[in-house]
Structures are given as C-alpha cells and as structure tokens.
Amino acid sequence: MNTIKIKHIGVFTSGGDSPGMNAALYAIAKSAEAKSIKTSGFRKGYEGLIDGDLISLKSHELQKSLHQGGTVLKTARSKRFLELEGRKKALQTIKANNVDALIAIGGDGTFKGLLAFSEICDIPFIGIPGTIDNDISGTDYTLGFDSAVNTAIENIDKIRDTAESHNRVFIVEVMGRDSGYIAIHSGLMVGADAILIPESGKDFIYLLDKVKNYDSEDAFLVVVSEGDEIGAELVSSKIKEVNPDVDLRITKLGHVQRGGNPSALDRMLGIRLGVASVNVLSEGKKNAMVGILNNQLHLTPFKEVVKQHQVNTELYELLELFGK
Ligand code: F6P
C-alpha cells in the first residue's frame, strides 16, 4: 500500500450544517491521534481558511459534542472562496500553518470549491458528504439526512393529530432543495395522501384526482418538497379550485429539520466516514469523497461526484402506490 506521512490535517465544515457533522469531527480527531497526526479545525468553512481562523482539535473535547446537531466548527457558504483572491489567501493559511492535508465536510458545492482549490494547492483533499438533502452520488446516504427525516416525521405526526381532529387538508413543506428525498421518505413514513417531489411531473395529477373526491371526513396530508416546481401555495390554490369546500392549512417545517441530535444512523455514518477520511489520506489518496455504498466504504473522485437528481424505480413505484 502506498502510504505517506501526513503530520497535520486541517478540517472544516461547509454549506448547510447537518446532524452528524460533530460525530465525524470527533472520529477524525480520534483516528488522527491514533496515527500521531495533529488536527486543526478551520472555523466557518472556507471563511476560516481564508482568515486563518483555526483551532486545535482534540478527540476528548469533541467526544462531548458527538451527540449534538449543528457543527462545533461553525459553517458558512463562502462567497470569497469563489474568487481566486480568496483561494490564494487560503493557500497562504495552509502554508503558514504547515497543514499537509485537508478534510472538508459538506455538499457538492463544498467539493466544487476543493476542486477549484486543487488548481493552486497541491496538498491532498478528502471530502465527507454532509447535507440533509441526500443529493450526492457516491454514497447511499449523506450525513444528516436520516436525522432530518426523523425530525420531519416527528413533526408531521403531530400535524396529523390536529388535522384528524378538524378533518383538515394539510400541506406540509419539507426541505431538500431540488431533491425530493426528504419528502419521499417522510411522506411515506407518515402515511401521506400525496407526496410531491421535484423529480416527478405526475405526482400533482394524482393529487388533484384524489383530492377531488375528498369528502372532509378525515385528514388529508400532502407532503411537498420545497424544490417542487408547483410549491405549497400553488398546490393549495389548485386544491381549492377542484374542491372549494376544503379547510386547508400550510405548514413549512423549515430549519427545524436541520437541527436536533443526530440519529443513530448519522452518528455511525459520521464515525465511519470520519475514520475512513483519515485512513485514505494516510494511504495516499486525494481529491475524492468517502461514502458508503451497499454498506461498504467507497471512494469517488471529486470530478465524478455529481448532484444526484434521480429517484430509483422502486421509490417511484412506492410513490405511485401510496400517492394515488
Ligand atoms: O442544503 C441544505 C438545506 O437545508 C436545503 O435543504 C435548503 O434548501 C437550504 O439548505 C437552506 O439554506 P439556508 O440555511 O442557507 O437558508
């Protein structure tokens, strides 16, 4: 095996925070310590790299936040890093602090940033997929997705209680940007009457067909992804067009889905991917994302990591069965 001696790893979290990021940070520090590698954390994502804002990471300290949502390193969507000037400043920080490898936890935008940085900085980079949206190829699940779905379910279950009591139609909007994964998973698990996702054009037609015959003798739950081209407000007005008597409310779950303690699955994913990221760096790998495919660790070059827009056939069939 081609091993290289790394002495100082820099780590940062970038883009939207997601539950499980702290578990990954803990695992990175723990695994680096076992290899006698120093670990520093850059605060606020790429902003910390540009400003030289870094702190020393110790596993015994990070252990205490393993169970917490958010990221102890803070995060940001850095505009400055999009500019070459910002990346040059980041390079100065790397050199000044003798950082000889970088691990970034974030979404596809974070990895694109690393690709751009690799044009001027030749130390190895490894990415860990961290976003609630689950929209990245090269891994079955991204860090935070499972927790976000659990939060969505918990809240939609509560909405059902009040919806059933009033025989109301509820449209619940969930996050996911342009990916329908949170909507599909949470919608199926709360027994939604309709699930609307950006990836499907047919779901709206099913919804209108179904709601036409809705007799207000029960609740009627619609879960809609924020990225759906129709959107919660338009869905609401279309429902009222086909069935003017409905008593309808809209709830947008919003950022509540990003917070909260990570689920068991996300803690485990954070630990596995955190350790894997240090291992692959030590093996001489670079410019790739660690993920889990079919329960096996998998390395995907950044160039092949794309935003996942496809919903597999089996999930579509579930949507049709439960949404019609
Ligand atoms: O990418 C994660 C995510 O939570 C999306 O689901 C959502 O569209 C977006 O971030 C919200 O971003 P912000 O926190 O910047 O408003």
Q: Within this chain, do residues 14 and 121 fall inside the same structural domain, yes or no?
A: yes
| Ligand 1, atom 9, residue with closest C-alpha | 177
258 lines ligand 1 (CB under 6 A): yes
Please report, for the domain that includes residue 191, its CATH number: 3.40.50.460
What's the 311 CA to ligand 1 centre distance in angstroms? 20
Q: Which atom of ligand 1 is nearest to the CA of 227?
A: 8
Q: Within this chain, do residues 26 and 126 fall inside the same structural domain, yes or no?
A: yes
Please report, for the domain that includes residue 293, its CATH number: 3.40.50.450
pLDDT tens digits, one per residue of 189-235: 999 999 999 998 878 888 998 999 899 899 999 999 999 998 999 99
Q: Within this chain, do residues 73 and 117 fall inside the same structural domain, yes or no?
A: yes
In the predicted model, what is the mean pLDDT of residues 91-113?
97
Cβ-contact 287, 124 below 8 angstroms: yes
pLDDT tens digits, one per residue of 263-293: 999 999 999 999 999 999 999 999 999 999 9
174 lines ligand 1 (CB under 6 A): no
Residue 1's pLDDT band, with cuts at 50, 70 and 90, is: low
The amino acid sitting at 77 is: R
| Known active-site residue 133 | yes
Tell me the HSE value of 267 on the side-chain side, using a 13 A CA sphere: 12
Q: Within this chain, do residues 216 and 159 fall inside the same structural domain, yes or no?
A: yes
What's the 183 CA to ligand 1 centre distance in angstroms? 14
Rounded (10°) CA dihedral 78, 82, 83, 85: 60
Domain count, the chain: 2
DSSP 39-67: EEEETTTHHHHHHT-EEE--HHHHGGGTT
Region for 191 from its dihedrals, namely left if φ exceeds 0, alpha if ψ lies in -120 to 50, beta otherwise: left
Q: Within this chain, do residues 168 and 89 fall inside the same structural domain, yes or no?
A: no
Report the predicted TM-score, pTM, of the whole model to 2 decimal places.
Answer: 0.96
Cβ-contact 262, 150 below 8 angstroms: no
Q: Within this chain, do residues 12 and 137 fall inside the same structural domain, yes or no?
A: yes
Structural domain harbouring 117: 8-144+262-304
Q: What is the C-alpha separation between 47 and 13, in angstroms, rounded?
A: 10
Is there a domain that residue 311 lies in? no
| Ligand 1, atom 15, residue with closest C-alpha | 16
Q: Within this chain, do residues 203 and 124 fall inside the same structural domain, yes or no?
A: no
Specify burial of residue 144 (Cβ count, 10 A radius: 0-12, 13-18, 19+): buried
Q: Within this chain, do residues 38 and 140 fall inside the same structural domain, yes or no?
A: yes
Q: Within this chain, do residues 53 and 79 fall inside the same structural domain, yes or no?
A: yes
Is there a domain that residue 3 lies in? no
Mutational test site, ligand 1, from 14, 175, 255, max ligand atoms within 8 Å of CB: 175
